[in-house]
């Protein structure tokens, strides 16, 4: 999970008042059944710790950190050397790392924290982005079908039926994963999947099939899987 794509240039620690969440829908009703919430201490002297909670059932739908603690006050890493934590059945690594997402950022000025990258950048008007990002995925189909169909008609020449078929792969904004099938976007997402080219192909109705940018070559074979962090720069999103 990338929570700050402009770190360390645009911030070099996790926000101590934030709740970072990964939610899982296990029964197909587009609502969270399991939630992992990550909260961090105040950073200081180059150190910060993270606590992780697991919530199940109705408690998983709360935006607050709740449920059972699975990791308590473990360190995060701000250096090239990662912290890999094992707590029972869980393994976790958090900190500054190289961002595996690859795209021409001149063409993507703002993105969301959704499961499918670049949706709001391409589909939503600027004044609709905050409401989309704050809404629950269960509402996505009803609120986005009509305006997003209009976008596809304009950018890719879609008719209403073709637009609906295409939008069903990304709405609601939940990344589906069928474990009986190979992991490849949109069935899950690996760190080398070219999701930007997939989005350009969708938006253009197949006229643009690639952004001609390859995946990162600094990936690691084990946790944290992502490469070492890049140094801070004067401007521009360089890492996560």
Give the residues across from 24 on adjacent strands: 34
Q: What is the pLDDT of residue 92?
A: 95
What's the predicted TM-score (pTM) here?
Answer: 0.86
Q: What is the pLDDT of residue 240?
A: 46
Q: What is the pLDDT of residue 9?
A: 77
Low-confidence ranges of the chain (pLDDT < 50): 107-111, 236-240
Q: What is the pLDDT of residue 118?
A: 85
Q: What is the pLDDT of residue 110?
A: 42
Q: What is the pLDDT of residue 234?
A: 59
Q: What is the pLDDT of residue 65?
A: 96
């Amino acid at each position: 999970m990338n929570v700050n794509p402009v770190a360390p240039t645009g911030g070099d620690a996790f926000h101590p008042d934030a709740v970072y969440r990964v939610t899982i829908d296990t029964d197909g009703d587009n609502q969270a059944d399991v939630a992992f919430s990550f909260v961090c201490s105040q950073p200081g002297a180059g150190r910060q710790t993270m606590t992780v909670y697991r919530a199940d059932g109705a408690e998983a739908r709360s935006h607050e950190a709740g449920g059972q603690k699975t990791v308590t006050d473990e360190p995060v890493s701000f250096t090239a050397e990662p912290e890999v934590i094992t707590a029972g059945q869980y393994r976790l690594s958090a900190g500054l790392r190289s961002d595996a997402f690859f795209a021409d950022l001149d063409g993507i000025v703002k993105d969301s924290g959704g499961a499918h990258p670049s949706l709001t950048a391409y589909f939503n008007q600027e004044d609709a982005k905050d409401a989309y990002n704050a809404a629950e995925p269960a509402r996505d189909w009803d609120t986005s079908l009509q305006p997003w169909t209009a976008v596809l008609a304009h950018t890719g020449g879609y008719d209403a039926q073709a637009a609906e078929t295409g939008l069903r792969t990304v709405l609601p904004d939940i990344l589906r994963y069928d474990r009986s099938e190979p992991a490849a976007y949109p069935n899950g997402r690996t760190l080398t999947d070219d999701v930007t080219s997939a989005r350009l192909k969708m938006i253009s109705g197949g006229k643009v099939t690639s952004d001609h940018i390859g995946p990162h070559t600094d990936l690691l074979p084990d946790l944290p899987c992502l490469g070492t962090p890049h140094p801070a720069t004067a401007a521009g999103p360089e890492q996560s």
